[in-house]
């Protein structure tokens, strides 16, 4: 049993924000693997299903980015999911746009959504960090992550998401280094 979490903000204006890349990945997983219809549960939008005979829960927290941990803790306590079986998809400023890095545990690196999860379930879970790059100009970081992807980035994001979907079986097997290298070399 695994829990996939996509981080983002649940407002219509946020849909194409850089900060919402996690939501987009969860939507793509739901579609590709025909998970159940999203239902509002545990302060999020929850889907369930199987991928290669593994029971999968996938959620988009509706608690806003900075309170993502509240939703996740409720869900893992209810279904008795170990933190080590949680995989969080989120944006990362410190990684070049389009690059993926998966890791287990570690620092929140200033990401408020990850800090919230750490607070509520600890640090022993996997993270799939999707590079959004840093702003080129003097735009404030919080403004940058809340800005929409431009058209060129949206096109590239479709390709990146498809690469992630192709490598989900590797992620399910918790082979994080292999997952990262395979996704980035597609």
Whose tokens are 């003097």? That residue is 138
Active site residue 90: no
Nearest-angstrom CA–CA distance, 168 and 39: 23
Candidates 19, 54, 90, 111; catalytic one: 19
Distances (CA, A) of 171 to 12, 27, 43, 131: 30, 17, 25, 18
CA 10 to chain centre: 14
Of the candidates 37, 5, 33, the one whose C-alpha atom is nearest the C-alpha of residue 21 is: 5
Residues classed as catalytic: 19
């Amino acid at each position: 049993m695994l829990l996939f979490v996509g981080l983002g903000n649940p407002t219509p204006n946020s849909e194409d924000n850089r900060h919402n890349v996690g939501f987009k990945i969860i939507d793509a997983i739901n579609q590709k693997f025909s998970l159940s219809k999203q239902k509002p549960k545990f302060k999020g939008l929850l889907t369930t299903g199987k991928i290669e005979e593994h029971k999968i829960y996938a959620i988009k927290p509706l608690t806003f980015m900075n309170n993502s941990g509240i939703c996740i803790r409720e869900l893992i306590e209810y279904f008795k999911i170990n933190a080590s079986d949680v995989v969080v998809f989120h944006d990362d400023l410190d990684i070049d746009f389009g690059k993926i890095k998966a890791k287990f545990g570690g620092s929140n690196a200033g990401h408020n959504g990850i800090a919230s999860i750490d607070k509520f379930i600890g640090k022993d879970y996997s993270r799939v960090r999707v590079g959004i790059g840093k702003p080129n100009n003097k735009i404030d970081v919080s403004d940058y992550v809340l800005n929409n992807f431009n058209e060129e980035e949206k096109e590239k994001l479709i390709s990146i998401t498809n690469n992630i979907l192709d490598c989900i079986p590797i992620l399910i097997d918790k082979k994080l280094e292999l997952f990262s290298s395979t996704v980035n070399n597609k």
